[in-house]
Amino acid sequence: MGFCFGAQWPLIFAIVSELFGLKYYSTLYNLSAGASPFGAYILNVRVAGQLYDKMALRQMKAKGFTRGVGEDLTCVGVECYKVAFLVITGATLISCVVSLVLAIRTREFYKGDIYKKFRVQSETMVSKELVTSAPKNIDE
């Protein structure tokens, strides 16, 4: 999971600019960058934390103990995080499918000349500068 999170940050710049353009780049970049901490909170606190507590309480009840006020929950064994890992694995697989769909949908775009628009804009700007900066003959 850490590898995927680390790989996302350098790619998000290119993904946002190439899919949506540069007009609203900063807004779209910040929205997409905000998805990572939001997802981390949901998966870490709401999924893994809740499921860990549930399994710890189940183990306590199986041993005949009760939880006191302010007492920590301790879970022992692989079943503590088993369901959480399955949920996170499912979320990862869904994101892989979404990435695959995006790659298939943009395949034709990347086969073409993706920088043609920028070259045309640059050539237009240069020709406009040449026209406006051409010396004018005062006699005419």
Q: How many domains does the chain have?
A: 1
6 falls within a domain: yes
94 falls within a domain: yes
Regarding pTM above 0.85, the answer is no
pLDDT tens string 77-92: 999 999 999 999 999 8
Domain span at 56: 2-131
31 falls within a domain: yes
106 falls within a domain: yes
How does DSSP assign the chain, residue by residue?
-HHHHHHHHHHHHHHHHHHH-STTHHHHHHHHHHHHHHHHHIIIIIIIIHHHHHHHHHHHHHHT--PPTTPPP---STHHHHHHHHHHHHHHHHHHHHHHHHHHHTHHHHHS-TTHHHHHHHHHHHHHHHHHHSPPPTT-
88 falls within a domain: yes
98 falls within a domain: yes
pLDDT tens string 2-55: 666 677 778 888 888 888 888 899 999 888 888 888 988 999 999 999 999 999
Predicted local confidence at residue 35, as pLDDT: 84
138 falls within a domain: no
pLDDT band at 130 (very low <50, low <70, confident <90, very high): low
137 falls within a domain: no
